[in-house]
Structure 1
């Protein structure tokens, strides 16, 4: 994403990140989106380009969703905006994260997800199981298992900088005030789509975050101008949810309808497309949804939380 600008200093006395660090962040974003396409296709250009964004943003309106809530008089219908859904998801995140233990630097973040990919034409559906072991401090190799295919990533080098960070200690340095967090992400990405994508990257890994950080991320997204609700979404486990995304984007967050718990991501892509200049030609369009099965902290690769 060539519109990313210099990252703002994480602390007042911290040196600015180098051009190499910024390039590494862009490369990691591109690599992560490639992984989301399961290395079998190419994601829609709307994930990485601003083509048509201005028109889409101008035409977008704030969405609402009608949910049932209970009171003494029985259930009633309430219309919620995207911002209200995200704020309720933040409340749920804080409740779920209460008392979460701090991982040791020599441990691993573990995540297991179920993914379903449905082809737009023909409705063929394939189901995947993914597992990730991510080094807590980046000093050890990490492992990604996509549909049985194993990819081992080397430890972070001394000068390698990831944005957003994945190391627990660096995540703990991020502000948990949503206004401060949004300002930091805006400064590092020039705002708009780039800021939105950075927050999605923060949601992707790791799954275990310092207290209050995920909640602050949801509240910061609620303040992002133009954030909208999608139609009723169903994750890979069949759970009905509320989708939240950015105008013109084909990737978004999904929350459970009743509890506002974060379920995972939904994205649209193209399998088998080929690039002709700046355009993608051919291929089969698909919709892919992810449902988190388990997340936790373990001592070594191959181990799973009880």
Structure 2
């Protein structure tokens, strides 16, 4: 009998623990980006690493340190590890996107909604991004002093930020309070919900790259909002039900490993012919748990001059181009406070 089977039998009659009980064991070294007292930290996290008009400002940092960036193939991220169960157990159903996301919605609709945070409270986030951590550690002290961001595993974002709400320069950025209220007011019907989110997070005009399709736009808008914290449970349930209707959506038929080694649900959608986006969901409480950008097809990447020189690299199926794992999220009373 393997260890996972023993573990499942041991806790077969035990109640499912809540996130607060699981969080201490999950806390790992993570990285975040600091700036504008935390306002733009969330803005950078909320956008997937797209390679067209939506490229976040972090791309400039990555470009500076591109020589140090190594794409690492993570074995077992999209296939079960030998010690992991070959099929999911318990009340999970990963047989289809609709089954997984509707099961999550059913669970969330049974949860009591906590009160909306007060205007004077803060949102504490702890996340891990291995590439950013690696890049920061490889920078010299002199270079670090010139950077406008720093490596920090923790961040605090003010819940009520009037100055950020009035800044319309970034169409993807919403404060925590704005996101909470946007989610709370979303319609029940999936098509109407997706249409509303596409208005809230508009697409580009095509001048900086290919325009998004309707479904790609919907998936990105959902991803942006899902990364906000907190969201009312009933609103999150509506979001998951709407996500299940997006054309091209998928779900990995087994739990995968995130950047910290946790087992998570991966909701997937192709970004282009070579890569896919993965939204990671906690299988216990169905909260947002992070994201992946994964190579779905082995292909060559040309250097800046499209030559056959040393800049030509191969990205192999399963390579992780970007991974973020959220290990803690909470409402706190002051900046610097940890739950």
| TM-score in same-fold range (> 0.5) | yes
Displacement of 1:223: 0.8
What is the aligned counterpart of 2:160 among 137, 150, 157? 137
Which residue of structure 2 lines up, in the alignment, with residue 13 of structure 1? none
Trace 1:238-277 onto structure 2 (pairs within 5 A): 238-247=261-270, 248=272, 249-257=275-283, 260-268=286-294, 275-276=304-305
What is the aligned counterpart of 1:222 among 226, 244, 250? 244
Q: How many residues align?
A: 224
Q: TM-score, normalised by structure 2?
A: 0.53
Once residues 228 and 212 of structure 1 are traced to their aligned partners in structure 2, the CA distance between those partners, rounded to angstroms, is 23
Displacement of 1:191: 1.3
Shift in CA distance, 104/200, structure 1 to aligned 2, threshold 3 Å? same
Once residues 133 and 39 of structure 1 are traced to their aligned partners in structure 2, the CA distance between those partners, rounded to angstroms, is 26
Q: Does 1:298 align with 2:332?
A: yes
Identify, as 1 or 2, the structure richer in strand. 1
* 1:212 counterpart SS class: helix
Identify, as 1 or 2, the structure richer in helix. 2
* 2:290 counterpart SS class: strand
Which residue of structure 1 lines up, in the alignment, with residue 186 of structure 2? 175
Once residues 165 and 273 of structure 1 are traced to their aligned partners in structure 2, the CA distance between those partners, rounded to angstroms, is 36
Could you tell me whether the CA contact under 8 Å between 1:66 and 1:80 is conserved in 2? no
Unaligned runs of 5+ in 2: 1-46, 70-85, 133-150, 204-212, 296-300
What is the aligned counterpart of 2:125 among 111, 126, 130? 111
The higher radius of gyration belongs to 2
Displacement of 1:227: 0.6
What is the aligned counterpart of 2:229 among 180, 193, 207? 207
Unaligned runs of 5+ in 1: 1-24, 44-64, 71-76, 119-127, 141-154
Which residue of structure 1 lines up, in the alignment, with residue 143 of structure 2? none
Once residues 37 and 295 of structure 1 are traced to their aligned partners in structure 2, the CA distance between those partners, rounded to angstroms, is 26
Could you tell me whether the CA contact under 8 Å between 1:226 and 1:246 is conserved in 2? yes
Displacement of 1:238: 1.8
Which residue of structure 2 lines up, in the alignment, with residue 146 of structure 1? none
Q: TM-score, normalised by structure 1?
A: 0.57
